[in-house]
A = this chain, B = another copy of it.
Amino acid sequence: MARPREFDVDKAVEAAMHVFWLNGYQGTSLPDLLDGIGIARGSLYKAFGSKKELFLRALELYDQRYVEPGVVHLKDKSEPSGETRIKNVFAGAISVVRDGDRRGCLLCNTAAGSTAGDAEISKVINGLLDRLTDAFEEALIASATFKDKSTRRSKAHNLTLTYVGLRVMAKTGIDADSLEIGAMT
């Protein structure tokens, strides 16, 4: 019916995600995105509307690519024990640091950034953090230590907090070994 788009929208969102991940929302300029994606200004605005909308799309992709798998794993009762599943999540976060990835986590970076001034973005961020906490809580459900519901919820919050701390610390010059104990129980 009309001229077909020459670039893959999904690939574009993915490229944008990496640019945002590396530079942060505020730290990313239009040319940064254009270079990273490999499209022209007009194409970006036609396809995504604005920088912010594209960021929201990138955040969405980050969720399904990195957050959701973790959430699924934490909730997966067919896996070993809840404790092991939790350990796996932390170990995963540490292993990327071992591989030299110092970008931290797009979710955590955004939460810590002053992007929070934007209501729409913080709503998404808060939602993701809540989902993570819920998943931790579910992983704790079989644990005798956290049999009490409110204690369990507290521990879940504690785990989210520790996870965020770990991923922020990963951005600093700290060595991976010193993060290892982030999962300490």
Contacts and interface: CB of A to CB of B under 8 A. Distances in A.
A42 interface: no
Interface stretch (A50-58, A70-78, A79-87, A155-163): A155-163
Interface in A109-138: 109, 111-114, 116-117, 122, 125-126, 129
B171 A168 contact: no
Copies in the complex: 2
A181 to B, nearest CB: 4
A4 interface: no
Interface size class of A (residues with CB under 8 A): 35 or more
A179 B162 contact: no
Interface stretch (A6-14, A23-31, A33-41, A59-67): A23-31
Interface of A: 22-24, 26-27, 104, 108-109, 111-114, 116-117, 122, 125-126, 129, 154-155, 157-158, 160-166, 168-169, 171-174, 178-182, 184
